[in-house]
Amino acid sequence: MFLGNVDIAIVNIATPSIHEHLHASGAELELIVSGYTLTYAVLLITSARLGEMRGYRRMFLIGLALFTCASLACGLAPSSVVLVAARVVQGAGAALLSSQVLTGIQLNFKEEARTWALGLYTAVLSGSAVVGQVLGGVLVSANLFGTGWRPVFLINIPIGIALFAVAWYFLPADGRRSTQRVDLAGVVSLSGALLLLVLPMVLGRDAGWPLWTWVCFAASLPMLGLFVAIERRVGRTGGQPLITLSLLRRPPVVWALVSQAATRATYFALLFVLALYLQQGLGKSAFYSGVVLVAWVAAFGVTGPLLRRMPERGKRLAAPVGTLLLALAFAGIGLGLRAGSTSGALLVLLLGIGGLGYGAAFSGMLSHLTGSVEDRYAPDMSGLFNTTLQVGGVFGVAVFGTVYLNLAPNGGHDAAVHGFMVTTFTLAAVGLVAAVLARLALASAPTAKAVQPATADRARTRA
């Protein structure tokens, strides 16, 4: 998970160096960044289903090998066109690899062990984005052996090889594999719907939101309708649909996914806007803007151990309370700017509070989701959850990045402060909505007493 998420962030820092050494055009630079993200987001659900059908261990190892080889191709790319192609393949490998992680946690860990594993999963997802920015800045600045941007990809090679050896030895063997065929019609229709939704969000802002972006948004809805129709037909004929649509009729699942999408949007928006505010507005270095976020990551990382020590009621309320704390942190940053303070110490403190809130919200909602569905739906939940996070993150950068850039198009201290203030107030409002959605998810979930008889009935039926 760390490798897959670092490569979403790390390349952003390397784009100036790539432009200088490969003479890449602006469109090519956008594709180098977004080609990976698009492929990653579009293939997550398909990759999760492939894990169920062909074996989680097998798909993990294939994805890791594909990711590592593509990283080598990226690092050695002689032209921007080759680099774009290698990034697309790298995104496919990351999707195939990452989709098996959450499924593996749900199937192989129970109770306290699962809580511990989900806490580590949470810390990796948050920390990897920040580490990607900081590590990218360090590697590009070091210009090792005159290689410029290439080490940001080549560093994956020794890590990937070592991880492959460890995974080969430690990952549990796959059980009996499904004999069902991959739902190709579902793959094509879902991939098309996600592509039509995500592509304009990734490229639209830099392109000035031309007509084609709005056509894509409009076309994504009928394509999604086509996907639903195909999945229902596959289910009626006894096949294995790409997604079990009945999960999306469960309020505990739907509210939780929407809450996580909104929360993720605020986090990715913060990563994007904060860097612009600090560097263009306050004149800080790229290294400074990365280090400031260490407070967020550190606070985020302690939520897993804290939640494990809390009583059940505290664990259950972690998601809505954490999201509310996140909203208050954003509001605090906005109020500080409104009062005329651009203090780095205050910003670090509030980012720490926000990271603590986001960690609690993420861990609490993830525990709720994995506990709300039966183990046989683990691939569905993994694909839905990861895709929701990616789409939410892209949406956050597109929407809130546009808000900030419209208010501070040329940087400058005063415009940047005003733009960041408005953006953080808006993020606070989204956080409040996410808190309400998280509470609805928990309120609609069946109690343990209600679940146990149903589980017992199913066990007697199988017997």
Residue 221 to residue 214: CA distance in whole angstroms: 12
Q: Mean of the per-residue pLDDT values for the chain?
A: 81
Q: Read off the pLDDT of each residue in 121-148 and give the average, rounded to a whole number.
A: 72
Residue 273, CA distances (Å) to 121, 213, 269 in order = 25, 22, 6
Q: Read off the pLDDT of each residue in 136-143 and give the average, rounded to a whole number.
A: 72
pLDDT at 450: 41
SS3 track for 14-70: HHHHHHHHHCCCHHHHHHHHHHHHHHHHHHHHHHHHHHHHHCHHHHHHHHHHHHHHH
Residue 253 to residue 446: CA distance in whole angstroms: 12
Percentage of the chain beyond pLDDT 70 is: 89
Reply yes or no on whether the pLDDT at 332 is more than 90: yes
Query: How far from the centroid of its chain's Cα atoms is residue 199's Cα?
Result: 16
Q: Read off the pLDDT of each residue in 338-359 and give the average, rounded to a whole number.
A: 88
pLDDT at 286: 64
Bigger pLDDT: 127 vs 106: 106
Write the single-letter amino acid at 428: A
- Per-residue pLDDT band for 451 (boundaries 50, 70, 90) equals very low
DSSP characters over 87-142: HHHHHHHHHHHHHHHHHHHHHH--HHHHHHHHHHHHHHHHHHHHHHHHHHHHHHHH
Reply yes or no on whether the pLDDT at 439 is more than 80: yes
Structure tokens given for 355: 């990271």
pLDDT at 108: 82
Among 383, 388, 396, smallest CA distance to 201 is for 396
| Stretch among 176-180, 229-233, 242-246 having the lowest mean pLDDT | 176-180
Reply yes or no on whether the pLDDT at 264 is more than 80: yes
What count of other Cβ atoms lies within 10 Å of the Cβ of residue 13? 23
pLDDT at 16: 67
DSSP characters over 202-253: HHHHHHT--HHHHHHHHHHHHHHHHHHHHHHHHHHTT---SS-GGGGG-HHH
Write the single-letter amino acid at 438: A
- Per-residue pLDDT band for 304 (boundaries 50, 70, 90) equals low
Q: Read off the pLDDT of each residue in 50-73 and give the average, rounded to a whole number.
A: 91
Report whether 326 contacts 364 (CB < 8 A).
no
pLDDT at 259: 92
Per-residue pLDDT reduced to its tens digit, 154-181: 889 999 999 999 999 998 887 766 666 7
DSSP characters over 161-191: HHHHHHHHHHSPPP-SPP-PPP-HHHHHHHH
Reply yes or no on whether the pLDDT at 457 is more than 50: no
Residue 405 to residue 209: CA distance in whole angstroms: 13
Report whether 186 contacts 241 (CB < 8 A).
yes
| Stretch among 291-305, 407-421, 449-463 having the lowest mean pLDDT | 449-463
pLDDT at 133: 67
Residue 417 to residue 408: CA distance in whole angstroms: 8
Per-residue pLDDT reduced to its tens digit, 7-23: 877 776 677 678 778 88
pLDDT at 294: 79
pLDDT at 452: 42
Structure tokens given for 202: 């990734």
Whole-prediction pTM: 0.76
Residue 301 to residue 120: CA distance in whole angstroms: 8
